[in-house]
A and B are shown apart, each in its own frame.
Chain A
Amino acid sequence: MSAPGTAITPDVGWRQKHLLDVDVLSLAEIELVMRTTDAMKEVLARPISKVPALRGTNVTILFYEASTRTRVSFEVAAKNLSADVVNIAASSSSVTKGESLVDTIRTVEALGADMIVMRHGTSGAPYLAAEVFSGSILNGGDGWHAHPSQALLDLYTMRAHLGEVRGKKVVILGDVLHSRVARSNVWSLTAAGADLWICGPTTILRGFDAWARRWTGGGAPGHAGFTVTSDVHAALQDADVVMALRLQRERMDAGLLPSLREYAARFGLTRERLAFAKPTALVMHPGPMNEGVEIAADVAILDRSVITEQVTNGVAVRMALLYLLAGGHPEAVTNA
Chain B
Amino acid sequence: MPDLRVGETVGLLEISRAWLVDPVAEREGPGEIVVRDGILEAVTWLSGQAVHGVNPGGILVMPGFLDLHVHLREPGNEDAETVASGLAAAAHGGFTTVCAMPNTTPVADEPGVLAQVAAAAAASGSPVELLAHGAVTVGRAGERLAALGELADAGVVGFSDDGSPIKSAVILRNALLYAGMLGLPIVEHAEDPTLTAGAEASEGLVATILGLKGWPAAAEVSAVERAIAILDSVRADAPGARLHLTHLSVAGALDAVRRAKAAGLPVTCDVTPHHLGFTDEWVAGARRWAWEALDGAGMARDPWADGALVTHPYATACRVNPPLRGAADAAACLASLIDGTADAVVTDHAPHTAVDKETEFGLAVNGISGVETAFGVLLAAVLAGKLPLARAVAALTVGPASVLGARPGRRGATRGLLVGAPADLVVIDAGVGWQVTRDALASRGKNTPLLGRELPGRILFTVALGRLAYRDADA
B-contacting residues of A (Cβ < 8 Å)?
23, 100-102, 120, 122-125, 127-128, 130-131, 142-146, 180, 183, 206-208, 210-211, 214
Contact = CB atoms under 8 A, between A and B. Distances in A.
A142 B212 CA distance: 11
B205 interface: yes
Contacts of A128: 314, 358-361
Contacts, number: 74
B312 A131 contact: yes
Interface of B is mostly: loop
Given A100-B358, A127-B314, A145 B208 contact: no
Contacts of A124: 210-212, 313-314, 360-362
Contacts of A144: 211-213
A208 B208 contact: yes
Contact of B358 (A23, A102, A214): A102
A211 B208 contact: yes
Interface string B188-217: 000000000000100111011111111000
Interface string B177-189: 0000000000000
Contact of A210 (B208, B211, B360, B361): B208
A208 B212 CA distance: 12
Contacts of A208: 208
Contact of A214 (B305, B360, B363): B305
A145 B212 CA distance: 7
B302 interface: yes
A127 B208 contact: no
Contact of A130 (B304, B312, B358, B360): B312
Given A124-B212, A124-B360, A214-B302, 7 more contacts: A101-B359, A123-B314, A145-B210, A145-B212, A183-B211, A211-B208, A214-B205
Contacts of A180: 211
Contact of B214 (A100, A142, A206): A206
B347 to A, nearest CB: 26
| Across the A-B interface, the 9 shortest Cβ-Cβ residue pairs | A145-B211, A124-B314, A144-B211, A207-B208, A123-B211, A122-B360, A122-B362, A210-B205, A124-B361
B181 to A, nearest CB: 40
22 contacts: A100-B359, A101-B359, A123-B361, A124-B210, A124-B211, A124-B362, A128-B314, A128-B358, A128-B361, A130-B312, A131-B312, A142-B211, A143-B211, A144-B212, A180-B211, A183-B209, A207-B204, A207-B205, A207-B207, A207-B214, A210-B205, A214-B302
Contacts of A131: 312
A131 B312 CA distance: 9
A142 B175 CA distance: 44
Contacts of B205: 207, 210-211, 214
Interface in B350-367: 355, 358-363
B25 to A, nearest CB: 47
A218 B285 CA distance: 27
Contacts of B302: 214
Nearest to B285: A127
B46 to A, nearest CB: 52
A77 B3 CA distance: 69
Contacts of B204: 207, 210
B210 A123 contact: yes
B434 to A, nearest CB: 26
A207 B313 contact: no
B361 A122 contact: yes
B365 to A, nearest CB: 13
Contacts of A207: 203-205, 207-208, 214
A23 B359 contact: no
B209 A127 contact: no
Contacts of A120: 360
A60 B358 CA distance: 22
Contacts of B212: 123-124, 143-145
A276 to B, nearest CB: 27
Q: Which of B210, B304, B305 has the most CB of A within 10 A?
A: B210
Contacts of A214: 205, 302, 304-305
Interface in B365-406: none
Q: Give the one of A101, A131, A144 with max B CB within 10 A.
A: A144
Contacts of B312: 127, 130-131
A146 B211 contact: yes
A206 B209 CA distance: 12
